[in-house]
Chain A
C-alpha cells in the first residue's frame, strides 16, 4: 500500500526556534517525488518544498530544508528561525507512480510569539 504517516498531530514552538516535522512513507516504487505543503487558515495549499527521490542531495528553500533518507523512507521538514506566519497545517505527500498525490494526516504547527 502507498501510505504516508505523520506521527505528530500537533506541535508548538516559540518564534525564532527551529522545528522539525516528521514524515515516513511506504512505496515499492524507486522513482517518485516528495512534497511538503503548508495550509494556513486561508485554506490555500502552498508548496513549501519538493524533493526528487533519485537525488541524494537534500532540498533547501530559504528557511525550509528536508532530511531525505530514502532507505528509511523518511522525509522530515526542518523550519529554521520560525516565524509567526509559519503557523499552519503541514502535509507531507508523495507521488508513488501514478500521477496522484498521496497525503499524510497533517501536523498542526503553531508558532508562539
Chain B
C-alpha cells in the first residue's frame, strides 16, 4: 500500500525553537505539499515542490521554509516557532498533471508551540 509518512504524530515545542517536520513518500511522486489545518479555515497550502530542490510558495508561507534534497522527502521548517503556528500540519503527494489520480496524505502532525 502506498504511503506518505510524517515523522511525528504529536509535537510540543517552545517559542523560538527551530522545528523540523519530516515527510516521506514511497510512491516516486514528483509533487509534494505541506498544508496547515485549522478549525473553520480548512487546509491552507504553505509550500509545495514539484521536483528535487524546487519549491514554490503557497498561500501562507510566512514563517516557514522547506527543503527537498531527495525526491521522497519533503521537510517543513519553522525557523523560529511562535504560538500562532500551533496547528495540524498535513503532508501530501501526487503524481500527474492536475492530480487526476488524487493526492495521498500523511496522517498529520499536531504541533503545539508553548
Residues in A whose Cβ lies below 8 Å from that of B31: 99
Residue B98 is within 8 A (CB to CB) of chain A in the complex: yes
Q: Which residue of A lies closest to B43 (CB)?
A: A103
The answer on a CB contact under 8 Å between B41 and A105 is: yes
Residue B33 is within 8 A (CB to CB) of chain A in the complex: yes
Point out residues on A near B: beta carbons under 8 Å. 4, 6, 9, 31-33, 35, 42-45, 47, 50, 52, 91, 93, 95, 97, 99-106
Q: Could you say which interface size class chain B belongs to?
A: 20 to 34
Residue B88 is within 8 A (CB to CB) of chain A in the complex: yes
Residues in A whose Cβ lies below 8 Å from that of B98: 31-33, 95, 97, 99
The answer on a CB contact under 8 Å between B99 and A95 is: yes
Smallest distance from the beta carbon of B110 to chain A beta carbons, Å?
A: 8
By DSSP majority rule, is chain A's interface helix, strand, loop, or mixed?
loop
| B58-114 interface (Cβ within 8 A of A) | 58, 88, 90, 92, 94, 97-100, 102-103, 105, 107-108
Which of B11-19, B20-28, B44-52 interfaces with chain A? B44-52
Smallest distance from the beta carbon of A55 to chain B beta carbons, Å?
A: 12
Residues in A whose Cβ lies below 8 Å from that of B88: 43
In-complex Cβ contact of B99 among A4, A43, A101, A104 (8 A)? A101
Residues in B whose Cβ lies below 8 Å from that of A93: 43
Residues in B whose Cβ lies below 8 Å from that of A45: 90, 92, 103, 105
Smallest distance from the beta carbon of B31 to chain A beta carbons, Å?
A: 6
Smallest distance from the beta carbon of B26 to chain A beta carbons, Å?
A: 16
Of all A-B residue pairs in the complex, the 10 with the closest CB atoms, nearest first, are: A45-B105, A103-B43, A103-B42, A105-B42, A43-B108, A95-B98, A47-B102, A44-B107, A43-B107, A106-B42
